[in-house]
A and B are shown apart, each in its own frame.
Chain A
Amino acid sequence: MLKKFKKALSLVVCLIIFLSLFTVININNSSVEASSKIKITWMGFGQPHEKELYTKLVKKFMERYKNITVDYICTAPGQEYGMKIQAAMASGKLPDVFYVPPENLRAWVDAGKLLKITKYVKASKEINLNNIWPQAISRYMYDGKTIGKGDIYALPKDVGPFAFGYNKTMFKREGIPLPDPKKPYTWEEFVKICKKVTKDTNGDGKLDQWGTDLDVNWTLHMFVWSNGSDWLDNTKTKVTIDDPKFIEALQFFADLRNKYKVTPTAVQGQSISGYQRWLNGQLAFFPVGPWDVPVYNKLKFEYDLIPPPVSPRTKKPATWLGSLGFGVASTTKYPQQAVDLAAFLSTDREGQRMAYQMGLQIPNLIDMAKNEYAKWKEKPNNKMEFIRVVEDYGRRFPFEYTYDREWYDTFYSGLQPVLDGKMTAEQYCKQVKSKIQKLLDKANQKAKK
């Protein structure tokens, strides 16, 4: 019996040795390979058409650099990417090139996960920094204290100007003079037009056309910033949501539904999204991002871009300008080659042309955006508004300046009663301020460590 057991045991041992042999051989193989050919991995996320674009670009890059192989990994958009990349960071197995959301930049740089790429960018023949939006690059600059100063840590994949749109067909039908994109509506004028178009068009006693229906998460900023206020002060250490100008803007936002009644009601608003109603042609105004353009251009009605309505206090428009970056891992064995790849993905002319024609983004290259893209025949006609957002009135989300966004999420998580008109903006902001300040302090403490 014992013999048999020994036999079985030796069989298991043999099997283990046999299997481990394979890994040894594999390791040897890869080291042989590495000496002759460079292998770079790059990980991103995206919709299928984005994946298609980057697969083509990677192929083109490998044709140009014969000694480099690029392994492109594309995850689904959303939370999956964040978890994967954090796990890769914790285990020290980061891909050479990967997406960097600007809100994560501070944490990732402070943790030593991102490579300082300034000198490699300067050495790369792939990129001309003067021809890329400085508003994009500056988000990825950091001196250890402030975003926007110091070394470069990533190159922009894109900038996302969140402009405002109007339904031209509805304006014509309702006999409203078309807006002048150079002269934004004031809040008052905006409400007036909204009131005029909000009505029951088929006589069944139910409203089926509204002024607008805005998502608070993405558009409250237009009102707060234009009113000369913000979530945080300049030092990004104090919450300023109890500032009367902030409260006024939030109240105005809530009033659109509750006082002026120019948006769908709370229940209507949650059943069909504003986005869907805009697509149905039921709204006069709605935001437009470059990523929306392929869908919006297939709609049955005409639309165009204008600046968002402005507060009587400042008379200046404001909106959110998003971005995503290509970063290089601090652990990469091939920093120059990785930066070359990031620069290529960020600025290759053909790639940028494909990207705007697919409706993914506006070009990162300033000259291409202002000439070729602005004159492109596709709708919307006033594409220059996107460029004005980038150059003139687009801003970053406030949480991009802080170490984490818990304080910001907390502000939004209790906002519903204000939007439903069950609580005033003043009551809410004053009540929640200290809680949010505490969370911000906590985030800032993390940064100091």
Chain B
Amino acid sequence: MKFSIYNKEKVVGYLFILAPILQFFIFALGPLIYSFYASFTDWDGLTQPSFIGLENYKEIVLDDRFWKALYNTIFYMIGIPIGMFLSIILAILMNQKLRGISIYRVIYYIPNISSLVAIAILWQWIYNPDYGILNNMLYKLFHIQGPNWLYNTTWVKPAIIIVTVWRGLGYSTLLYLAGLQNIPHVYYEAAEIDGASSLKKFIYITLPLLTPTSFYIVVTTCIGGLQMFVEPQILANNGGPEYSAATVVFYLWQKAFINYDMGYACAVAWILGAIIFVVTLIQFKYANKWVYGMD
């Protein structure tokens, strides 16, 4: 076999990505296959599993807690478009030649790298209905008596959405900022010569050219959002009032590690995995309809 330059590059490339690939085969593939098998078993996570066929899956269909957790998880997705909208605006603001712009960029990125426990304590304080800053502001500005955010079945989900949007804002803003800086200036100059307004430039140049970034953000945040666990877990005790804050991952964690239902939890995980797969597939299928630069 003759090695062309192309082939040599290929080999080097593979060598570079060998570490994560090996990592996947050694640490992830085995558990992945095993969990698929385990989802067909009655297994407490301690003793030997016993094969029960589709029983777990049948039970999940009739399990109102699972459906409630799934509904909550999907509800939390409302945060994705809100977060994207806000981060585009922020990215545009941060793309200006402002004094101390790097300080702003750092500030908006801090929530993303902060300890979740610290964030939980901060927001629990903000949401406190008696002395919390949020209800205080609502009262002082609009004379509205704010709700009891984290202990109210109606308000706990919006409260958690606000936290996740706030937390993810820095990351997507950074991506949009990179996207913005990739747009060649000549387009804007050409549009200016044609007499386009700032709004028109934004709608006809900026937004379309940012669609690859938007696509990336939609796909990754959907996957991440469907796997949401930590925020509801630490902000809302035990799944929240009447389980109104629990997510699918929270539910499967509870099943696996509190109630010794590891087999059942594996089945929940695979159903979630299938949902994520389908959602991502649909996104890719329809990507060419709105993502600029995709075939």
Binding site for B on A (CB under 8 A): 1-2, 4-5, 8, 12, 79, 82-83, 86, 89-90, 107-108, 110-113, 266-268, 270-272, 403-406, 409, 412-414, 416, 446, 449
- Residues of B near A404 (CB, < 8 A) are 258-261
Inter-chain contact B257/A79, CB cutoff 8 Å:
yes
Binding site for A on B (CB under 8 A): 1-3, 8, 11, 15, 44-47, 50, 128-132, 148, 150-151, 238-239, 241-243, 257-261
- Residues of B near A4 (CB, < 8 A) are 8
Inter-chain contact A272/B260, CB cutoff 8 Å:
no
A5 touches which one: B3, B50, B129, B238 (CB < 8 A)? B3
CA distance A113 to B47 in the complex (A): 9
CA distance A90 to B266 in the complex (A): 15
- Chain A to chain B contacts (Cβ below 8 Å), 15 pairs: A1-B2, A1-B8, A12-B15, A83-B257, A86-B45, A107-B44, A266-B148, A267-B129, A267-B130, A270-B148, A271-B128, A271-B131, A404-B261, A409-B238, A446-B44
- Residues of B near A110 (CB, < 8 A) are 46-47
Least Cβ–Cβ distance between A77 and chain B, in angstroms: 13
CA distance A86 to B151 in the complex (A): 31
Q: Nearest 9 CB-CB pairs, A to B? A: A271-B130, A111-B46, A1-B3, A270-B151, A404-B259, A406-B259, A111-B47, A271-B129, A404-B260
Inter-chain contact B242/A416, CB cutoff 8 Å:
yes
- Residues of A near B242 (CB, < 8 A) are 413-414, 416
CA distance A373 to B47 in the complex (A): 43
- Residues of B near A82 (CB, < 8 A) are 257-258
Inter-chain contact B44/A111, CB cutoff 8 Å:
yes
Given contacts A113-B46, A404-B259, 19 further A-B contacts (CB under 8 A): A2-B3, A5-B8, A82-B257, A83-B257, A90-B45, A107-B44, A107-B46, A111-B44, A111-B47, A267-B129, A267-B148, A268-B130, A270-B148, A270-B150, A271-B132, A271-B148, A272-B130, A404-B261, A416-B241
Inter-chain contact B243/A413, CB cutoff 8 Å:
yes
- Residues of A near B148 (CB, < 8 A) are 266-267, 270-271
Least Cβ–Cβ distance between B259 and chain A, in angstroms: 4
**Nearest A residue to B15, CB-CB:** A8
Least Cβ–Cβ distance between B47 and chain A, in angstroms: 5
Question: Chain A: interface secondary structure?
Answer: helix
Inter-chain contact A108/B130, CB cutoff 8 Å:
no
CA distance A89 to B45 in the complex (A): 8
Least Cβ–Cβ distance between A410 and chain B, in angstroms: 9
- Residues of A near B47 (CB, < 8 A) are 110-112, 449
Least Cβ–Cβ distance between B196 and chain A, in angstroms: 52
CA distance A291 to B47 in the complex (A): 35
Inter-chain contact A413/B239, CB cutoff 8 Å:
yes
CA distance A403 to B260 in the complex (A): 9
Least Cβ–Cβ distance between B69 and chain A, in angstroms: 12
**Nearest B residue to A407, CB-CB:** B259
Give the total number of A-B pairs whose CB atoms are below 8 A apart.
Answer: 74
Inter-chain contact A107/B260, CB cutoff 8 Å:
yes
B46 touches which one: A90, A268, A271, A405 (CB < 8 A)? A90
Inter-chain contact B257/A86, CB cutoff 8 Å:
yes
- Residues of B near A449 (CB, < 8 A) are 47, 50
- Residues of A near B150 (CB, < 8 A) are 270
CA distance A1 to B238 in the complex (A): 61
- Among A86, A90, A449: residue with most chain B CB under 10 A: A86
Least Cβ–Cβ distance between A276 and chain B, in angstroms: 11
- Residues of B near A409 (CB, < 8 A) are 238, 258
**Nearest A residue to B8, CB-CB:** A1
A413 touches which one: B50, B129, B238 (CB < 8 A)? B238
Inter-chain contact B257/A270, CB cutoff 8 Å:
no
- Residues of A near B45 (CB, < 8 A) are 86, 89-90
CA distance A46 to B131 in the complex (A): 31
CA distance A12 to B11 in the complex (A): 13
Least Cβ–Cβ distance between B20 and chain A, in angstroms: 16
- Residues of B near A272 (CB, < 8 A) are 130-131
- Residues of B near A8 (CB, < 8 A) are 11, 15
Least Cβ–Cβ distance between A371 and chain B, in angstroms: 40
Least Cβ–Cβ distance between A287 and chain B, in angstroms: 18
Least Cβ–Cβ distance between A251 and chain B, in angstroms: 20
**Nearest A residue to B1, CB-CB:** A2
CA distance A397 to B11 in the complex (A): 62
Least Cβ–Cβ distance between A51 and chain B, in angstroms: 18
CA distance A108 to B151 in the complex (A): 35
**Nearest B residue to A1, CB-CB:** B3
- Residues of A near B1 (CB, < 8 A) are 2
- Residues of B near A267 (CB, < 8 A) are 129-130, 148
Inter-chain contact A5/B46, CB cutoff 8 Å:
no
Least Cβ–Cβ distance between A397 and chain B, in angstroms: 14
CA distance A2 to B257 in the complex (A): 52
- Residues of B near A270 (CB, < 8 A) are 129, 148, 150-151
CA distance A404 to B260 in the complex (A): 7
Least Cβ–Cβ distance between A76 and chain B, in angstroms: 10
CA distance A11 to B96 in the complex (A): 50
CA distance A2 to B7 in the complex (A): 11
Least Cβ–Cβ distance between A444 and chain B, in angstroms: 13
Least Cβ–Cβ distance between A440 and chain B, in angstroms: 12
**Nearest B residue to A417, CB-CB:** B242
CA distance A267 to B257 in the complex (A): 32
B260 touches which one: A1, A113, A271, A446 (CB < 8 A)? A446
Least Cβ–Cβ distance between B182 and chain A, in angstroms: 35
**Nearest A residue to B129, CB-CB:** A271
Least Cβ–Cβ distance between B261 and chain A, in angstroms: 8
- Residues of A near B11 (CB, < 8 A) are 5, 8
**Nearest B residue to A82, CB-CB:** B257
Inter-chain contact A405/B243, CB cutoff 8 Å:
no
**Nearest A residue to B151, CB-CB:** A270
**Nearest B residue to A8, CB-CB:** B15
**Nearest A residue to B237, CB-CB:** A217
- Residues of A near B238 (CB, < 8 A) are 409, 412-413
CA distance A126 to B46 in the complex (A): 31
CA distance A110 to B1 in the complex (A): 60
Least Cβ–Cβ distance between B45 and chain A, in angstroms: 6
- Residues of A near B15 (CB, < 8 A) are 8, 12
Least Cβ–Cβ distance between A446 and chain B, in angstroms: 6
CA distance A168 to B55 in the complex (A): 59
Least Cβ–Cβ distance between A419 and chain B, in angstroms: 10
CA distance A112 to B47 in the complex (A): 8
Inter-chain contact B259/A405, CB cutoff 8 Å:
yes
- Residues of A near B44 (CB, < 8 A) are 107, 111, 446
- Residues of A near B239 (CB, < 8 A) are 413
CA distance A239 to B66 in the complex (A): 24
CA distance A22 to B241 in the complex (A): 53
**Nearest A residue to B243, CB-CB:** A413
